[in-house]
Amino acid sequence: MAAAATALAKTGQPDWAARLDACVTAGFECYRELHDLHEVLFHHAHPARPDPAAATLVIRDLLAAGVAAGALDVSDPEATAVLCYASMHAFDLRGHGGPDDTRLIRAAQQLVRRAAGLS
């Protein structure tokens, strides 16, 4: 999720919806880039689980910054970040008869926006 932090830094805009959308898109792109590693870690070597803390910290910090700016309405940025991160695992269903990438990204962006109190 370092890509998400980089994407957010590049946006440099006060548009919180766009920043949240960029975070979701970066999460998707990171997953796509690391798909093979993800397959090995999550589907073949069950004892080896990477710590999602780095990803959730990026999302948590974004949500907390939005709350501090008065732009977002999130009562628990940390728990909300964990749920948003978990929602991005729908990308793991790609190619198995589910929604295409565009629909998944749009749905995840909508979910994250609504979790943050935006429409």
Answer left, alpha or beta for residue 44, where phi above 0 means left and psi between -120 and 50 means alpha.
alpha
* Of 55, 60, 49, nearest in space to 1 by CA: 55
CB 4 within 8 A of CB 26: yes
Q: Name the residue range of residue 101's domain.
A: 19-115
Kindly state whether residue 77 falls inside one of the protein's structural domains: yes
* Of 19, 2, 3, nearest in space to 72 by CA: 19
In terms of pLDDT, which residue wins out, 38 or 117? 117
Average pLDDT over residues 28-52: 61
Q: How confident is the model at residue 26 (pLDDT cuts 50, 70, 90)?
A: confident
Kindly state whether residue 14 falls inside one of the protein's structural domains: no
pLDDT, position 42: 56
Work out the angle between the directed axes of helices 101-115 and 77-87 (0-180°, nearest 10).
Answer: 170
Q: Cα(35)–Cα(92) distance, rounded to whole angstroms? A: 9
3-state secondary structure of 15: coil
Report the number of distinct structural domains present in the chain: 1
Kindly state whether residue 10 falls inside one of the protein's structural domains: no
Kindly state whether residue 107 falls inside one of the protein's structural domains: yes
Kindly state whether residue 103 falls inside one of the protein's structural domains: yes
Lowest mean pLDDT among 18-32, 35-49, 53-67: 35-49
pLDDT, position 17: 92
pLDDT in tens, 74-91: 999 999 998 888 877 656
Q: How confident is the model at residue 113 (pLDDT cuts 50, 70, 90)?
A: very high
Give start and end residues of each alpha helix (H) in the chain: 2-11, 16-33, 35-39, 53-68, 77-87, 101-115
Kindly state whether residue 23 falls inside one of the protein's structural domains: yes
Kindly state whether residue 81 falls inside one of the protein's structural domains: yes
